[in-house]
Amino acid sequence: MFISRFRVNTARPGARKLLSSPQAMHAAVMSSFPQLLPSDSPPPDSPRVLWRLDQMARAEVLLYIVSPGQPDLTHLVEQAGWPAVATRENPGWQTRAYAPLLDRLTAGDRWSFRLTANPVHKIRRKEGEEQKITAHLTPIHQMGWLLDDRRQERLGFRICEKPDDRRLLPEGTTHQKRPHPGDRYELAIRDARSLAFNKSGAADGRRGPVTVVTVTFEGHLEVTDPNAMRRSLTQGIGRARAYGCGLLTLAPLARSPRTT
């Protein structure tokens, strides 16, 4: 497994085209792997190509890719990077092996994390109607999607809780019957977007408008099941993984007393 980082040159027309269409960006990412054909789909429970865009500032957009094979991002550099300054030593992107991080995961470890996901649920609008997949639209329900106990158990981690002295509200909630999770957990929503684009050329032949609600979560987590956690990191979390969702990344926490 490999993790790669590419800084997008937002001043270039090719970059603006990619940033405006998750489908175009997905195609560009998948073109980084000559061994993969457009029709290829990963077997169940196997590592897959995941990607995510992080907008750190107006002119600083980073593309992260986690993949089973090492990518060649030359075409992205030419279309949306700085090709004039690319060299053999610094081709315009960075790639490193992912195994050292995956191998060191241990139950009880705590990490800072970032995840862009597509929080959804199934609803039935009227009696007798089939359930439909619908996006969560409010921060309370979006946080609740990630904080769901069964989901966290499957993913191999739990979101850390804040210590009492850092909570602004009693027990970290706003209401006893309908608690708001925002002040109880080390969890925040940094970005929420509704992406609308036209789907064309799909393998299933379906075309037409597509809307995907994405949410970027940041916070602290504790590993509870290292094997499940590795699956989450290499297979992705939730739906819309072809459109930049599902990639969870970890960073070391600054040394501080453990919270509960």
Domains of the chain, first to last: 2-97 (3.30.70.1200), 102-252 (3.30.70.1210)
Pairing of strands 187-199, 208-223: antiparallel
pTM of the model: 0.85
The owner of tokens 């981690």 is 157
- Which residues have CB under 8 Å from 22's CB, separation 6+? 195, 197, 212, 242, 243, 244
Distance CA(248)–CA(224), nearest Å, equals 16
Report which DSSP code applies to 25.
Answer: H
| Each residue's pLDDT expressed in tens, for the chain with a length of 260 residues | 999 999 999 999 999 999 988 999 999 999 999 887 655 566 666 788 999 999 887 789 999 999 999 999 999 999 999 999 989 889 999 999 999 999 999 999 999 999 999 999 877 677 767 778 788 888 889 999 999 999 999 999 999 998 877 777 655 554 444 555 657 899 999 888 888 777 765 545 556 677 889 999 999 999 999 999 999 999 999 999 989 999 999 999 876 544 43
Nearest to 219 by CA among 169, 183, 192, 257: 183
Q: Calculate the CA dihedral of residues 222, 225, 226, 228 and round it to 10 degrees.
A: -110
Q: C-alpha angle with apex 158: 153 to 161, nearest 5 degrees?
A: 150
